[in-house]
Amino acid sequence: ADGQGLALMRAGRYPLAFPAFTWEVRANDRNYHVQFKKKFAFCLTKKKYAGNAIKTAKYNIFTFLPLNLYEQFHRMANVYFVFVILLQTFPEISTLPWYTLLFPLSCLLTIRGLRDLIDDVGRHQSDRNINSRPCEILSGKSFRWQKWRDICVGDIVRLHKESFVPADMLLLCSSEPSSLCYVETADIDGETNLKFRQALLVTHQELVSEESLATFDGEVTCEEPNSRMHSFTGTLEWRGETYSLDSERILLRGCKLRNTDVCYGLVIYAGFDSKIMRNCGKIKRKKTKLDRMMDRLVIIIFLVLLVTSLCLAIASGFWARMFQEKHSYLSALYKNTTPAQQAFFNFWGFTILLSIIIPMSMYITFEFIYLVNSFFINWDLEMYYAVKDIPAKARSTSLNDQLGQIEYIFSDKTGTLTQNMMSFKKCCINGTIYGTGPGHENKQPSGSGLTWSHHGEKKLDFCDATLLEAAWRDSDPVLREFLRLLALCHTVMVEEKGDQLVYQAASPDEEALVLAARNLGYVFLARTRDTITISELGKKRTYKVLAMLDFNSDRKRMSVLVRDPQGTIRLYTKGADTVILERLQRRGPNETFTEMALERFAEETLRTLCLASKEVSEVEYSKWSRRHREASILLQDRTRELDKLYEEMEQNLQLLGATAIEDKLQDGVPETIQLLKLGNIKVWVLTGDKQETAMNIGYACKLLTDDMEILEEKEISSAPTIPSSHSEILEAYWVSNNNLSGSGEVLCSSRLSQPCPEASCHKKRAVIVSGDFLDKILHMGEVLKEKKGWLWRRLACCRATGPQEPGSLVEKAFVDLATSCQAVICCRVTPKQKALIVQLVKKHKKAITLAIGDGANDVNMIKTADIGVGISGLEGMQAVQCSDYALAQFSYLQRLLLVHGRWAYLRICKFLRYFFYKTFAGLMAQVWFAFHSGFTAQPLYEGWFLALYNIFYTSYPVLSMGLLEQDVSAKKSLEFPELYVIGQQDELFNYRVFGITLLHGVSTSLASFYIALWAFEDSIGSKVVGDYESFAVTVATSALLSVLVEIILDTKFWTVLSFLMVTASLLLFCLFSFLTQSIDAFRIAPAVFRFPEASRNALTDPYILLVVLLSLVVNTVPSLTVRLYRTITGKNTIQQNIRLKARQEPEPSVELRAHVPHGSFHRRSSYAFSHQEGYAGLITRGDSLRTGDTRRAT
């Protein structure tokens, strides 16, 4: 492998960061790769080199049934139902035929199975489409069209312009000069700016025909397949020579070939070994917090049921023995059963009788409510994006309630928060700010005769009429130089398509500036290796390029040294305000005004650049040029020497002005983030972009504010303002990592002795870290194990650690610090790191997380989070295919969470609360009846009442509550995002609420049973209705009416459907009572219809009606009393408190401007450079330009 990399590997210097260099790829030799196998489970082996076919689906035709059933029986309720069905198969203890319970369970399993099947069929379809994409593979001595799935490691593939790269490939050659290749990674990370890759010189020169490609037998040795998107280390051995390879030579799967007619690549990693697939993660079955709680509740209820059944069974044994002793004359009835046997059978009888306390109908209704609430999301016109005809889509139907419990949102930046479109908004030239007014966009001065705009294909967002007039008059030399700089100082490529000029920029910032110059009359026309041709107000001028001083992240600027047609040498420089202003020749009034303008632009979160120039004498240039040539051929310290020379040249500049570019956010992003923050939801931005760009977007979308203390990597381990509890473990880690063994204990003790300043403890903070820093944090577990003894002592010095692993402590310290901050931005993170960050927060904070993104690099994060949201409508759709919810815009997230999520949580919680309440209220009477029936498992109610109670009599009002309940309207939900906190704190359904519901249900059943029992102690009424059947009907009617009244009292949002559901419940009770208790039914099947005319007999007696009314009043008065007490004593709900606050002190409108005191020079270095280093070198070497052509053809 690469000499240096291999040396480090062999020395064991990179035990974690670098995998073994054991991946060998031979070109055009499939047989070589087939022979290698690797173990993957027990003694089983599979091919070491994966094929290129991918499979993201979970099931196939053989595994669907067993796998899906296995997953479904992870729900404790399903296991419980199977247990009850098995009990029902024993006739000695059965109370109902076993198939009557098997049918609803089968329905439940089928509904969920079909839902999973439909989701998986979609994944199969997606896999087929991707695997069947066409491509050209070298077969023998010619290329043949085949499918992506036919590609193997070692194949040579030919790609054409606009096609996707099918596997991770080594670029061998291309049709471009120097075998350059331009790719767009929008399908991977959402970024639309071009990135270049370049083949090795040897393959560029030698592989010039299909014959030479067919005979190519190079061997690549590189690292094993891994998930690091931005790194690659390996070597190519060919014809006895070894050539070093890095990530600049590799085309990643999922990239799109742009501006390159043809390129050829050698497949290194295929299919699931490719870097993007390594980052995708596995599909995980997601369960909501309520789902997990329900599993635990089922276990608790089942255990309580068993204990209750056991107690009743033991009591029945004692009762039977006592009864037999008292009534010995009935011994013939008991001669075959002892009291112990009777207790044993009664135990199972009670278990079956009470099993309906966990009703199967609840789970079927559950699924229906989830499904309908998903339709509500799909049908919401407020989340419909008319521009691209994209509605919101709930791709998962079982997670809606969790949308109301989100605590952390992890968002991608490019394509999610931003549109990745830069627009030139404002500028300051010679002490004048242009672009201030919104009322005169795209208006050219009448009669100006400006004709240059025919070159344009894009409409300019900004065009100030005053600036156009000034440009046309051409009387201001500073303005002329300003516009000339925009047209000359860049690395943009240009090509003509018809009469249109098409610019291809390394970054959208560069393109925005060149377009702005074009629209103001200074049109960039063409470039060669050493010239740039522009049109200045219709006059074509060619400048000789003497040197290009390239941008890099340390210099924060780029310059171009040109000789104009008159022979004058000028330096044009653009860069961040912090580096340009300190290199000015003088500071006059214009410079001071420009600084104020920069502050103003920064307030508006625009990306700023300072523009400056100077004239260079021939003598100065000749001396500098000689030294520049000498430095450029150095073998050691070349970059450092060149930077010194650039620094010398870029001095004594004259300020021309400043530009302000808007990195266009998606509509409503700042307002959405503000609302989410008010709802106590923390937003973390995880991006592959560099820090400056991410910070600028942070300010633009109001995630970061000027009153925040920004903590970067160095501050996290050493800033005195951080409370010691957050930084000690991180500090100890840095001490150990940097081998500062002498100062470790002193450092820890000094941190402990230093009190936390009060102001800094409560100050708003934001954390900004990079992927490299996270790598160190996430790998700490293994690093610490090597030094466990030494480090444990250091950790003990800082904090009592307990039995936790030190690596886990470092992670936890970082998570504690990050979660205590108001904002977190992670830059330069890989897709796998995004998922690991989500995993960390879930692990250490036990919080509900949501991830939102639009590209393939967000897939792993979306799968890992509790809720995954994909942004649809952009070029890359992988994120949507793996998401639970698909939205067209980030701003729709506020409605998805604050309205639909909160309502869904409210509805499901109320549904659960009242389903349990009505079940306990109606069916616990069975237990009380046992105390008066000799502890036999004799049912109190008619069998039909037990069967229909949860299906027809009480399910509809609860169903309408689960579908339509609202505590406040959608408008109020958005006005008062603080309401969202209820879900985060699990206030509406938890163990305490379940306990209260249980007590409430038990008290209702006690009142219904014992009031009826008290009334039936003697024969009463005008008719004789003291019989068991009438008693059962009375208790049943009392319990049913009490349950319905309770639901009526707690329904906040009444609709026609709510009214109809309550009415339907009563009517169905009357109807089925009439049908199942008719004399005709009794005559047909007396064993099935055992209560002939029982309801008519009981409920036509005024005395019984009064008993029912008394039960109803006794059951309802406590609920009314509690509500009245809360109102009188001021124990308001959160909603009432918020309404009160709104009446007393109107909520200020969401403020979207960060106020920076003028003159404070509190600016952010939000300079508008987002492209990678190296483009200037390509241009000056001529690598990117066709020989003898003044423009770059494609």
Q: Any residues with CB less than 8 A from the CB of 327 and at least 6 apart, and which?
A: none
pLDDT score recorded for residue 18: 44
Categorize the per-residue pLDDT at 335 as very low, low, confident or very high, splitting at 50, 70 and 90: low
For strands 44-47 and 37-41, give the pairing. antiparallel
Q: What is the mean pLDDT of residues 39-66?
A: 85
Categorize the per-residue pLDDT at 213 as very low, low, confident or very high, splitting at 50, 70 and 90: very high
pLDDT score recorded for residue 779: 65
Categorize the per-residue pLDDT at 849 as very low, low, confident or very high, splitting at 50, 70 and 90: very high
pLDDT score recorded for residue 805: 55
Residue 922: what are its φ and ψ, rounded to 5°? Answer: -85, -35
Categorize the per-residue pLDDT at 359 as very low, low, confident or very high, splitting at 50, 70 and 90: confident
| Res 800 pLDDT > 90 | no
Q: What is the mean pLDDT of residues 309-338?
A: 80
Are the beta carbons of 268 and 153 closer than 8 angstroms? yes
Q: What is the mean pLDDT of residues 1115-1136?
A: 78
Q: What is the mean pLDDT of residues 659-671?
A: 87
| Res 192 pLDDT > 60 | yes
| Res 246 pLDDT > 50 | yes
Categorize the per-residue pLDDT at 622 as very low, low, confident or very high, splitting at 50, 70 and 90: very high
Residue 322: what are its φ and ψ, rounded to 5°? Answer: -65, -40
- Of 420-429, 765-774, 1146-1155, 1173-1182, the least confident: 1146-1155
Q: What is the mean pLDDT of residues 584-589?
A: 83
Are the beta carbons of 825 and 774 closer than 8 angstroms? no
pLDDT score recorded for residue 1182: 66
Which one of 120, 168, 380, 412 is the catalytic residue? 412
Are the beta carbons of 947 and 940 closer than 8 angstroms? no
pLDDT score recorded for residue 474: 85
pLDDT score recorded for residue 1081: 85
Residue with the larger pLDDT of the pair 1130 and 795: 1130
Distance CA 898, CA 978 (A): 9
pLDDT score recorded for residue 96: 65
pLDDT score recorded for residue 179: 85
Residue with the larger pLDDT of the pair 566 and 1184: 566
CA 1038 to chain centre: 50
Helix count and strand count (H, E) for the chain: 48, 35
- Of 420-434, 602-616, 666-680, 684-698, the least confident: 684-698
Burial 140-166 (b: 16+ CB within 10 A, else e): eeebeeebbbbbbbbbbbbbeeebbbb
| Res 1170 pLDDT > 70 | no
Distance CA 1035, CA 1004 (A): 11
Q: What is the mean pLDDT of residues 1124-1144?
A: 65
* Burial status of residue 581 (CB atoms within 10 A of its CB: 0-12, 13-18, 19 or more): buried
Paired tokens of 927: 């237990």
pLDDT score recorded for residue 236: 92
| 772 labelled catalytic | no
pLDDT score recorded for residue 642: 87
What confidence tens digit (pLDDT) does each residue in 936-985 have? 878 888 888 888 888 888 889 999 999 999 988 999 999 999 999 999 99
Categorize the per-residue pLDDT at 493 as very low, low, confident or very high, splitting at 50, 70 and 90: confident
- Of 206-220, 633-647, 802-816, the least confident: 802-816
Q: What is the mean pLDDT of residues 1162-1186?
A: 59
What confidence tens digit (pLDDT) does each residue in 643-654 have? 889 999 999 999
Residue with the larger pLDDT of the pair 847 and 1142: 847
Distance CA 1167, CA 540 (A): 31
Q: What is the mean pLDDT of the chain?
A: 81
pLDDT score recorded for residue 15: 37
| Res 2 pLDDT > 60 | no
pLDDT score recorded for residue 7: 40
| Res 678 pLDDT > 80 | yes
pLDDT score recorded for residue 450: 41
Categorize the per-residue pLDDT at 1186 as very low, low, confident or very high, splitting at 50, 70 and 90: low
* Burial status of residue 893 (CB atoms within 10 A of its CB: 0-12, 13-18, 19 or more): buried
Residue with the larger pLDDT of the pair 104 and 1047: 1047
pLDDT score recorded for residue 427: 92
What confidence tens digit (pLDDT) does each residue in 456-474 have? 444 455 667 888 888 888 8
What confidence tens digit (pLDDT) does each residue in 260-312 have? 889 999 999 999 999 888 877 677 778 889 989 988 998 899 899 999 999 99
Categorize the per-residue pLDDT at 391 as very low, low, confident or very high, splitting at 50, 70 and 90: very high
Give percent above pLDDT 90 in the chain: 34
Could you tell me where the beta strands, DSSP code E, fall in 14-81? 23-26, 37-41, 44-47
Q: What is the mean pLDDT of residues 1152-1170?
A: 42
* Residue 621 DSSP SS3: helix
Q: What is the mean pLDDT of residues 1009-1033?
A: 78
| Res 755 pLDDT > 90 | no
User: Crossing angle of helices 771-778/831-845, nearest 10°?
Assistant: 50
Categorize the per-residue pLDDT at 10 as very low, low, confident or very high, splitting at 50, 70 and 90: very low
* Burial status of residue 1085 (CB atoms within 10 A of its CB: 0-12, 13-18, 19 or more): exposed
Categorize the per-residue pLDDT at 253 as very low, low, confident or very high, splitting at 50, 70 and 90: very high
Are the beta carbons of 154 and 29 closer than 8 angstroms? yes
pLDDT score recorded for residue 163: 92
Categorize the per-residue pLDDT at 690 as very low, low, confident or very high, splitting at 50, 70 and 90: confident
Distance CA 103, CA 26 (A): 59
Which of 81-85, 245-249, 866-870 is modeled with the greatest confidence?
866-870
